[in-house]
Amino acid sequence: MGIRHTTEGMTLQRLRWCTGIAIILWITVLLLSLAWNIQSQKRQTLALAQKEAVASMERDIAVRNWLAKRGGIYIHADKGIAPNEFLQHPQRDLAVNGIALTMVNPAYFLRTLMEDPILQSSVRSRIVSTTPIRPENTADSWESYALEQFHRGEPVAFQLVREEGGRHLRGMQPLITSDSCMNCHTEQAFEPGNVGGGISIILDMAPFLAAQNRNISLIALSHVILGSLGLLGITFMYRHSASGLRQVEHAITTLRNNEEQLEKRVEDETRQRRKNEELLVHQSRMATMGKMIAVIGHQWKQPLNVLAILVQDLPEAFRHGEVNQQYLDTAATQAMEQIDFMASTIDDFRNFFDPGKQMETFSVNGAISLALKLIQAQLTHNNIQANLDSQCECSARGHKNEFQQVILNVLVNARDAIYERRCQNPDHHGLAGIIDIRVSCDDGTASVQICDNGTGIAADIAERIFDPYFSTKPGEGSGIGLWMAKSIMEESMGGSIRLEPDRQEGACFTLCFPVV
């Protein structure tokens, strides 16, 4: 449980980390967007102010050029405009029909307009030059710098300044001299096409900054609203994901609990099955041992009879004076032959039930022959002939004794089936039993086919004959012989055992396994 809680905590902590990172990224994006929009708004404000400044300067230049092309204008000298003391022109002052007129050149006209209180606006402008006729038109340091830039080809110059009363935009455009300018500027040695001076303006930025601040406030408000909506969305997603994650973690915990319970049940079932299999193996070996004891008993019957005859004959031979050295040697030889035969039977029995589990390479034909030898006496007694037809000499890798046990189980079943057929039908009492064993090899695989002429196996039970505790001889068989044979062939030999279908007489089992 501690591991589960730790895993769940780590998962929720990871979700919190991701949510925190998402919030930081969202706020960062909003701040970057806000900064970019503010800077963009400031650039737009400056561009708008510069556009208005250019419009004002171009308007002044247009008025100047219009007047310059016409050589200036005459106005009433008594209408508040004094004659231009800096204008050196022979016809500056005239009297027409008793009316006093004075010439107003372009520069003087613009200065008069710029200084008129009625026409004052947020834009203050003046004409400047580095070599002015009127000292008041001398360019200051920034204006001088702008004039130098004009000489280098720059079309306009701007500078933001902070003065008393707020921020202002200074702007300047060049005044290019023309032929019409030469009438008033002969002393300055200008040539047509030169930069004679410039229109300098000072634009009050207060209205533009006020509009800019309003727009920035709206931008900031929109970002606050957008940021709040985004944070609400992230919070909602976090709560929704956390809720779903808790449900998933709960489901995983439940699944793990069920898995642990299932694993425990599987372990218990496996342990119990292993015990049952061990019991089945033990029962199978006991059943086979019982069969083998019966075989040994049958094989010992004849030698014991011979020994009994020898022992019984000794007193009679002694009474008749037949006991001599030759008689004793002959009797001892015959007795030892029978004892050797019985000892050989015991050795075969012991080797057959050798509990060793070491894998070995053994001769298939040799193992089959040994199994036949163990049961041959019973087969002969029951008038059953076993025929071994070996078409190849091959070796297999596995447990030899277990393979012999498989062969013996099939042979015993064949013997019982032949005996049962004789009992079921009186016409078959004298039936000669036949068991054919055929060994063949093909492409690295050996095939051992054991066929008999017994009762055969009905089709409705053919699929169940390899099940444990299933027997066709209720009350007699253990029902584990063929199951054990199937287990040995599949697990120890890496092969298989099957019942051949559609037999008209008897049964036929085929064993298949790899050869070496």
296-315: pLDDT as tens digits: 665 576 567 668 777 887 88
Q: Number of H helices and number of E strands within the chain?
A: 8, 14
Alpha-carbon torsion (66, 72, 75, 77), positive or negative: positive
Residue 119, pLDDT above cutoff 70? no
Q: How far apart are CA 315 and CA 328, in angstroms?
A: 12
Assigned domain for 314 exists: no
Assigned domain for 178 exists: yes
Assigned domain for 145 exists: yes
Q: Among residues 147, 160, 267, which one has the least CA distance to residue 212?
A: 160
Assigned domain for 62 exists: yes
124-138: pLDDT as tens digits: 878 888 777 777 878
Assigned domain for 283 exists: no
Alpha-carbon torsion (324, 328, 329, 334), positive or negative: positive
Assigned domain for 42 exists: yes
Residue 6, pLDDT above cutoff 50? no
Which among 204, 232, 248 is the end of a domain?
Answer: 204
Residue 1, pLDDT above cutoff 50? no
Q: How far apart are CA 275 and CA 254, in angstroms?
A: 31
Strand arrangement, sheet containing 123-128 = 123-128, 195-204, 166-176, 157-163
pLDDT of 12: 77
Which among 204, 227, 259 is the end of a domain?
Answer: 204
- Pairing status of strand 496-499 against strand 508-514: antiparallel
Range of the domain at 175: 2-204
316-358: pLDDT as tens digits: 888 888 888 888 888 888 788 778 767 766 765 665 555 555 7
Q: How far apart are CA 444 and CA 397, in angstroms?
A: 12
Q: How far apart are CA 391 and CA 369, in angstroms?
A: 14
Please give the backbone phi and psi of residue 381, each rounded to the nearest 5 degrees, phi first.
-60, -35
Residue at 284: amino acid letter: S
Q: How far apart are CA 160 and CA 238, in angstroms?
A: 49
Q: How far apart are CA 99 and CA 461, in angstroms?
A: 147
399-450: pLDDT as tens digits: 888 898 899 889 989 998 998 998 888 777 778 899 999 999 998 999 999 9
Question: Can you name the residues that pair with 176 across neighbouring β-strands?
Answer: 195
Q: Tell me what the mean pLDDT of segment 77-91 comes to.
A: 70
Q: How many CB atoms lie within 10 A of CB 407?
A: 24
| The three-state (H, E, C) secondary structure of 189-218, written as one string | CCCCCCEEEEEEEEEECHHHHHHHHHHHHH
Q: How far is CA 389 from CA 362, 376, 451, in A?
A: 18, 16, 12
Residue 264, pLDDT above cutoff 80? yes
The most confident of the ranges 60-69, 274-283, 296-305, 476-485 is: 60-69
pLDDT of 446: 96
192-242: pLDDT as tens digits: 667 778 888 888 899 999 999 999 999 999 999 999 999 999 999 888 888
pLDDT of 4: 46
The pLDDT confidence band at residue 498, using thresholds 50, 70 and 90, is very high
Residue 446 belongs to domain with CATH number? 3.30.565.10
Q: How many CB atoms lie within 10 A of CB 230?
A: 16
Pair of tokens at residue 220: 């900031």
142-183: pLDDT as tens digits: 989 999 998 888 999 999 998 777 899 999 999 887 666 655
Residue 49, pLDDT above cutoff 60? yes
Which among 169, 204, 239 is the end of a domain?
Answer: 204
Average pLDDT, rounded, for the chain: 82
pLDDT of 24: 95
Chain centroid offset of residue 334 CA = 82
Total domains present in the chain: 2
Long-range contacts at 486-495 (CB < 8 A, ≥ 24 apart): 487/277, 488/399, 488/402, 488/403, 488/405, 488/406, 489/406, 489/513, 492/398, 492/399, 492/402, 492/403, 493/396, 493/398, 493/402, 493/403, 494/398
Assigned domain for 319 exists: no
Q: Report how far apart the first and last C-alpha atoms of the chain are (Å, whole number).
A: 53
Establish how many alpha carbons lie within 13 A of residue 185's alpha carbon, considering only the half-sphere containing its beta carbon: 27
Pair of tokens at residue 383: 């008038």
346-399: pLDDT as tens digits: 765 665 555 555 788 999 999 999 889 878 878 888 899 999 999 899 999 998
10-35: pLDDT as tens digits: 577 888 898 999 999 999 999 999 99
Residue 2, pLDDT above cutoff 50? no
The pLDDT confidence band at residue 99, using thresholds 50, 70 and 90, is confident
Assigned domain for 268 exists: no
E-only strand ranges, 218-373: 360-363
The pLDDT confidence band at residue 40, using thresholds 50, 70 and 90, is very high
